[in-house]
Amino acid sequence: MELSSEKRYYERFPCRTPVEWGYFNKPHKYSARMLNYSQTGACFESPQALINGSTIQVRLEAYRAECGSDCNDDAECAWPRLIGLGEVKWCRNLSGVGAQRFGVGVRFHLPVL
């Protein structure tokens, strides 16, 4: 039996959507680009390095779907959160040649019901 290193419980959906992020309760906001999302988290690319373990707010600026799921209509498709509060789980330097870029993984805090 082959073991996978995949730890995700929810399907990830690709997207290339502009987002704005900022540290919770701080006034400064930064532009970034969401790369994918799920029900519980998201991955985005930012020119700034983020602090692991910090709480951030992510706001969707626009949504450009690149739906790869087998849904029959838009009502069945998963949509990213418009505004999410979450924890930075990881931040990795993606820079090669050119501008500095960081990949960021965020786990959203669950809404209180």
How confident is the model at residue 9, as a pLDDT? 74
Residue numbers of the domain that contains 58 = 13-108
pLDDT at res. 65: 55
Residue 87 lies in a domain: yes
Q: 78: Cβ–Cβ under 8 A, 6 or more apart, which residues?
A: 11, 13, 37, 38, 39, 69
Cα–Cα distance for residue pair 111/113, rounded to 1 Å? 6
Residue 11: what pLDDT? 85
Which residue carries 């626009």 as its tokens? 62
Per-residue pLDDT in tens (0 to 9) along the chain, 113 residues: 444 455 657 888 888 889 999 999 999 999 999 998 888 899 999 999 999 999 999 998 866 555 444 455 555 555 666 788 999 999 999 877 567 899 999 999 976 55
- Cross-strand pairs, 90: 105
Residue 8 covered by a domain: no
In a domain, 4, yes or no: no
- Among candidate residues 45, 37, 28, the one with its CA nearest the CA of residue 101: 45
Does residue 44 lie within any of the structural domains? yes
Tally of domains in the chain? 1
> Which residues, including other chains, have CB under 8 Å from residue 10's CB and lie 6 or more apart?
38, 39, 40, 41
| Residue 1 within any structural domain of the chain | no
Residue-wise pLDDT for 28-55, tens only, equals 999 999 998 888 899 999 999 999 999 9
Give the CATH number of the domain where residue 77 resides. 2.40.10.220
